[in-house]
Structure 1
Amino acid sequence: MAKPVRAAIGGVWITCVFCKGGLFRDREVKLNSTGMELFNFAWANESAIGLICWNCGYVHLFANKDVELYKVRKDEF
């Protein structure tokens, strides 16, 4: 099972836009384009950081590579 993380950009904590939660699951998300898929170059598509809200499941996408992830202790979730 994935472990929750907290995330920040430039020292500003990220919170869920839907429920205001501050814990997320993270994963890499490919930003596929039709042209790249058509020519079998999907592997070369840009990727983003996906933060999935631990509380409500809302998916946040960040193409900004400056997103910082912080581990959360078990007693925090």
Structure 2
Amino acid sequence: MSKPVRAAIGDRWIKCMFCQGGLFRDRRVKLNSTGMELMNLAWANESANGLICWDCGYVHLFANEDIELYKVKKGEF
């Protein structure tokens, strides 16, 4: 399992929309479309930044590339 991160866009910290938690696991997520799948071009689909809430598991997707991720020290989670 990946280590938790905090995330921000500009000077705004991102919080979970469901539980208001501030720690996330991050990963890239493919935004597959039916047309691209049918033409066997799924590899060319756009990607998003996925933030998975550390507390409740709610998945947040951001197409914005300006997200900054900050490592969290072991005692902070």
TM range (shorter): over 0.9
Q: Which runs of 5+ in 1 are unaligned?
A: none
Q: Which runs of 5+ in 2 are unaligned?
A: none
Give, in angstroms, the shift of residue 10 of structure 1.
Answer: 1.0
Output the TM-score relative to the length of structure 2: 0.98
Deviations 1:6-55 (A, max 9, x none): 00001210000100000000000000000100001000000000000000
How far apart, CA to CA, are the structure 1 residues paired with 2:12 and 2:26? 17
Query: % of aligned pairs identical?
Result: 81
Question: What is the count of residue pairs matched by the alignment?
Answer: 77
The CA RMSD over aligned residues, in Å, is 0.5
List structure 1 segments (4+ residues) > 6 angstroms apart after TM superposition.
none
| Match of residue 63 from structure 1 | 63
